[in-house]
Amino acid sequence: MTYKRSGKKLIKKIVCVSLVSVIVSSGCSFSFSNADERSQNPVYSYEGVTSGNIGSSSTVSQPQVQAELISGQTENQDNYKPSNKQEEVITNNNSEMIKTDPFDFNGTKLTDSSKSVSGITAESSKFDPREFNLMTSIKNQLKLGICWSFAGNAALESFLNKSNLGAYDLSEEHMRWWAKEGTFNWRIGDSEGSTNETSMGYFTSWQGPKLESDIPYNGNMTTDEGAKKPANFDSAPRLGYNVLDVVNVATDRSSVKNAILKYGAITSGYYDDAKYMSQDSTAFYCDEALGQTHAIAIVGWDDNFSKDRFTGKVKPKSNGAWLIKNSWGNYNKENGYLWISYEDKTLLSYSDNYAIARVQKDKGQRIYQHEYSMSSTLSSDVVIAANKFNFGQNEVLQGVMFATDSIGANYEIYYAPEENGAPSYNKRMLIKSGVVPFSGYITADIDNYILPTGNGSICVKIDNSSQSKKSSIGLEKNVKNYKMFVSKASYGQSYILSKGRFVDLNRVSTYYPSNVVIKGITKSIGGANILAGKDRYETAIRVSANGWSSAENVFLVNGNAIADALTSTPLTRLLNAPILLTEKDSINKNVMNEIKRLGAKNIIIIGGENSISSSVADELKKQSFGVERIYGKDRFETSNRIAQKILSVDGSKVNAYAVVNGYQGLADAISFSPVSGEKNIPIILSNEKGRVNIPSELKSSESVLSSYIIGGESSVPQSIESELKNPARVSGIDRNDTNARIIERFYTSSELKQVFVAKDGYGNQGMLIDGLAIGAYAAGENSPIVLTHGRLSAEQKRVLEKKKIDKIVQVGNGNNSMAVTELLLMRDKQK
């Protein structure tokens, strides 16, 4: 379409094409509606647009800017197609199928008249924001058909100005190029046009905006004529505000007025045709439902605007009009603004009427997302959907953005760990709940929910059953023959709950490719030090390299036989030696290189030949290392032999010993190991029933005056205490609480130089091996080990909150990163 101005100049106009909905049940079969069912909107026939499904193309990642933008990781996307083994139908527990309905996003009815501008309310007969200096400058789209970008920027500029955050001139050129080339799924040309969903997707995915002063508009040149993407498209800074909430506004007059007063400009569109325009180009009225061809922003109203000013083809019956911010420059005596009659049949005739409702100053957050625009919805009685992301190290969740039109519905937000490659609904953890406040994009603020590193899912449940209405959540999906938007998705991104389990949405051929509108807003909590390698062997090497520039002695332990070496920390500290790990029959190259870097002369092997074979010892001897083996017939005897070795090296320093259960107390031994190393306290392992054989050398030593029992009475019974020297028990209700009690008892200073956070072996005792490697180093630093399999226990938190911690060190990779994040947050609060 074109707009004829002054009988001379033609201005290209945009076609605002509404998208379609996919109606999906979280327990029902998927179905979708054809856009051409909406016969009252003939604009759907423009460019042959109808709804349905088309193929996908590859995903391209977005460069990092002020707020880091994280797209979901995908597999083989360039040639990605669903496999032959697909779940073609998703049903609820009753195998009910949902009927096909056309998409019609329900807008938000706004009745709040408390918002006013200089006493003006929604009941006032007139509001013109120009009179209050609330508008930014009029712009000119020139010959390009991208008025959707001008309408979107007008809405955000208006909100920022009205909120006293600044009068900004935002770049349409940046948004124009963002929506080209398919990088972010949009492939909009310079004249095809689009919907207001494009600009809202741009804002809510934090891809923009940028400033006009950095990326000025080039409206006189199309790409066919040689226009190029701006050289600073990526490097130019984004505006220092991120959009959090976008309200989809209902089309009734009261709602629109209230929205204007509360938020500022509202995006919309109308059917532009010169025959319906007044002779002075200031007033427009169309009495036919012809669809929409031009995007604009509604900024004010006048109930008494005379019907006689509409001098086009037809005249409305009554006075009253909306004030429109246009994008054709100062082309009329209203300086580029336009009045459209309340009775116009095209203005507000679609559901893409949006207002920016909340922004937040950029805080260096990341946004995790799989989609860049909402084109459809999933709906059922209750919708439970999830997006899986690969979260980074030491991140906290500070917000979850989702889209819905289920106003008044209850929502719940969960974190779901990955299990067998999919989100585990049974292991979900509630993060927040609330009531859907409006229709549109909603961001629920989260108070620093600590995320595990790696794959995990954010789940959103929408339950509108209390209102006997369907529940919905936004979806990005293809529209058949709608060439301007091509959705992209892969396995392992978006899921829907069906019969109690999450089903990969993109393994359902009817809906591939599609992604749910659920975004995670996170903040990386910096300041941690990480001693971790690709495996336990590499982690031990990192610990050694960090703690020792050289060492005459090195302890060698089987990486899969932790029990043998549990009690070796005091001896390693006494000999100032690191612990390195090996396999039974060979030493890998990297371990050998570390031994040589240290300049070691002596290798002390812990455990018998079933742990580390004689061939390993022989190889070390061939390379001129002295080799000593400390072992017994079992772990208990080995602990006694280590104690005897400690006494032989420097028995005068041994004033106490400790008893730990050799089966149930492995984690307790690791917790106590820095104390045992620092204070030269041998650790003796009891048998499974808690019985213990104290070496005679310890019993008879005059310097040994006391003992410790580490663990509760279920590990080492009270009856054993009579056999020990002045015993003191240190224990909690579990391994984590015992760890806290050890820190509380032996690290009494209010300041800690370091804490070393390692995995506690919960569910897999082999995971304790990193704690074994760090024990001697921690002892030398007079610093504790914090054992965890996720977040800190209440006791650990109570004890550590009292400490001022200088350095927080994560040992090994895994869920111990959550406790590291928690400690970083504690430390930040103390500053």
pLDDT tens digits, one per residue of 215-266: 999 999 999 999 999 999 999 999 999 999 999 999 999 999 999 999 999 9
Number of helices and strands in the chain (H, E): 16, 39
pLDDT at 114: 64
Mean pLDDT for the chain overall: 87
Could you read off the pLDDT of 271-285 as tens digits, one per residue? Answer: 999 999 999 999 999
Q: Are strands 656-661 and 683-686 parallel, antiparallel or unpaired?
A: parallel
pLDDT at 729: 97
pLDDT at 90: 55
Q: How confident is the model at residue 104 (pLDDT cuts 50, 70, 90)?
A: low
Residue type, 782: N
**DSSP string for 92-158:** -TT--BPPP----PPPBP-------BTTB-TTSSEE-GGGGT------B-TT---HHHHHHHHHHHH
Buried b (16+ CB within 10 A) or exposed e, 504-542: bbbbbebbbbbbbbbbbbbbbbeebebbbbeebbbbbbb
Q: How confident is the model at residue 563 (pLDDT cuts 50, 70, 90)?
A: confident
pLDDT at 562: 84
pLDDT at 94: 40
CA distance 216 to 218: 7
C-beta separation of 531 from 542 below 8 A: yes
Q: How confident is the model at residue 796 (pLDDT cuts 50, 70, 90)?
A: very high
pLDDT at 59: 30
First to last CA, the chain: 61
pLDDT at 544: 97
- Tokens 């819905």 — which residue? 404
Q: What is the mean pLDDT of residues 582-602?
A: 96
**DSSP string for 647-705:** HHHHGGG--EEEEEETTTTHHHHHHHHHHHHHHT--EEEE-TTS-----HHHHH-TT--
**DSSP string for 254-312:** HHHHHHHHHH--EEEEE---GGGB-TTSSEE---S-----EEEEEEEEETT--GGG--S
Measured from the Cβ of residue 81, the count of other Cβ atoms closer than 10 Å reads 11
pTM for this one?
A: 0.84
Q: Is the pLDDT of residue 107 over 70?
A: yes
Q: What is the mean pLDDT of residues 122-138?
A: 96
> Peptide bond preceding 63: is omega within 30 degrees of 0, i.e. cis?
no
Q: How is residue 24 written in tokens? A: 């999906």
pLDDT at 10: 29
Q: pLDDT exceeding 90 applies to what percent of the chain?
A: 78
Q: How confident is the model at residue 298 (pLDDT cuts 50, 70, 90)?
A: very high
